[in-house]
Amino acid sequence: MKQITALLSVSDKTGIVDFAKALVSRGVKILSTGGTAKLLKEEGLKVTEVAEYTGSPEILDGRVKTLHPKVHGGLLARRDDENHLSTIAEHGIDTIDLLVVNLYPFQQTIDKPDCSFADTIENIDIGGPAMLRAAAKNHGTDKGGVTVIIDPKDYDEVLKELDEKGQTSYGLRLRLATKVYAHTSAYDGAIASYLSSLEDAEPAQNKTPSQKEWPGIITIQMQQHQAMRYGENPHQRAAFYVDSKQDVGLLGTYKQLQGKELSYNNIADADAAWECARSFKVPACVIVKHANPCGVAMAEGPLQAYQKAFKTDPTSAFGGIIAFNREVDLATAQAVSEQFLEVLLAPSYSKDALAFLANKKNVRVLSIPSGDGRNAFDAKRVGGGWLIQDPDLTPLDPTQIEVVTKKQPSEQQMKDLLFAWQVAHYVKSNAIVFCADGMTMGVGAGQMSRLDSARIASIKAEANGLSLKDTAVASDAFFPFRDGLDVVVEAGANCVIQPGGSIRDDEVIAAADEHDIAMVFTKMRHFRH
């Protein structure tokens, strides 16, 4: 094996001592900086400090140490270019064949609640990304190039190739270089996102959401969590990626306790169920099929909530996703297992519930810690671009609710209306939701016509043997004509909650008065496409 020079400078020192020892035992010359050099020397390894090699001391409190021609010349000189090689020889520069660098922990720093702005700025690495990009650019050809490592998991593979071939293969160097550019891109993206948040921090306090400006460039950083057999359909490739930073309470923090691998559709539907379930402050159960709630209920406990939710639409619940916002006990586990379900979600499970579910090997059981984590924004892919918006998280302001009819809703009716409104928030538009006593009685979702959604909701209730007499109805957007209101009243509704805002509001209000029902306006809509 030809003489190899390696430069080691890492913030994550996992495995670095053993790797350095393995390199030295193979005749590799070690260059290093700062804390890494100190650690390796303490372990008895022969190390040349970069400052000694370059003849230039570290300056500006360590901000400048590797930004030197003897470092970057050694990394960037092409191994198959005689002019490059003669030039660095003329200037007394040796080639650096192996670079092991990982960057200052910027993301970990800003995640600390007591992190100061000064600490954040000091944890923006300059020399590290410059070396990584130089080495990755010069990963070379099949005739040789620089091997660059950012991940301790790659140490063993590099050593294996050195032993087998005397040098690393082009394929490995290319893969590692690709990994570097993804890493530095994510690193710069985290910095850009942090600084963008500062730009808007002060003005945002006095602005409405519509007045706030989105940054000119948004960097979305994702890490692959799971490769999938296929996507929505078997002919589509798919994978599940999670945010580099996970807030407690979001689906991305799930832990799978048992069952088959989650599919693309499982994860999409599980997110819909979980978001709805965790929006309730009292015990609640949400059953989702094809991204829409087909049964939602709240009760004194999870079992009772499930029993009520299941009654809404047992047919649609078959093969669905069931989410609870409270611990699942044995009785609840036994009840849900009487039907075919794909995924069960809850913050936790009792020991006897888990023991029982272990016999249902096909059921995917997920635990998600309760929390208030929220996505910073929603994104939707369109041809050639993205649509970015704030998540629909604004709570209903009770002071904004306006009773617009002659008839006032009773206390119980108002409870039912608010429950129906909360469920409608999670139903695809056009959404019509009938509810009574903390339970969905009929759900009409995703129709091109609001009138059809109203009809479908009543048809489903009738098919499932549920009476809609004296139910509350929520509409996610205004009734554009009185016909939709007529349909829900004819089905049995005695009160309605809707945003209002139609040019025909007066006509719809007059219809409600004609039917002698109560109607309230929220002045907020919940379109969900």
Residues annotated catalytic, as ranges: 137, 290
CA dist., res. 180 & res. 108, Å (int)? 19
Which residue has tokens 């092409």?
78
- CA-CA distance, 273 to 270, in Å (whole number)? 5
Element holding 344 (H helix, E strand) = strand 341-346
Please tell me the distance from the alpha carbon of residue 448 to that of residue 455, in angstroms, as a whole number. 12
The label of the residue with tokens 């998991």 reads 153
Q: Which residues touch 417 (CB under 8 Å, ≥6 apart)?
A: 409, 472, 474, 495, 496, 497, 520
Closest CA to 521 of 455, 468, 474, 451: 474
Report d(CA 135, CA 78) in Å as an integer.
Answer: 11
Q: How far apart are CA 30 and CA 4, in angstroms?
A: 9
Q: Estimate the crossing angle of helix 450-463 against helix 482-491, to 10 degrees.
A: 10
* Beta carbons of 270 and 323 less than 8 angstroms apart: yes
Asked whether the beta carbons of 343 and 366 are under 8 A apart, the reply is: yes
Side chain identity at residue 231, one-letter code: G
- CA contacts within 13 A on the Cβ side of 171: 3
Residue among 280, 268, 342, 271 nearest 308 (CA): 280
Residue in this structure with the two tokens 């249902």, named with its chain if needed: 360
Backbone dihedral angles phi then psi of residue 225, each to the nearest 5 degrees: -100, -35
Which residues make Cβ contacts (< 8 Å) with residue 358, sequence separation at least 6? Answer: 258
Decide: 230 and 221 in contact? Cβ < 8 Å. Answer: no
Q: Phi, psi (5° rounding) for residue 287?
A: -110, 125
If 0-12 CB within 10 Å is exposed, 13-18 middle and 19+ buried, where does residue 285 land? Answer: buried
Residue 233: count other Cβ atoms within 10 Å of its Cβ.
Answer: 9
Dihedral sign from CA coordinates of 271, 472, 393, 455: positive
Distances (CA, A) of 158 to 19, 95, 129, 319, 391: 10, 18, 21, 47, 44
75: nearest Cα among 92, 88, 65 = 88
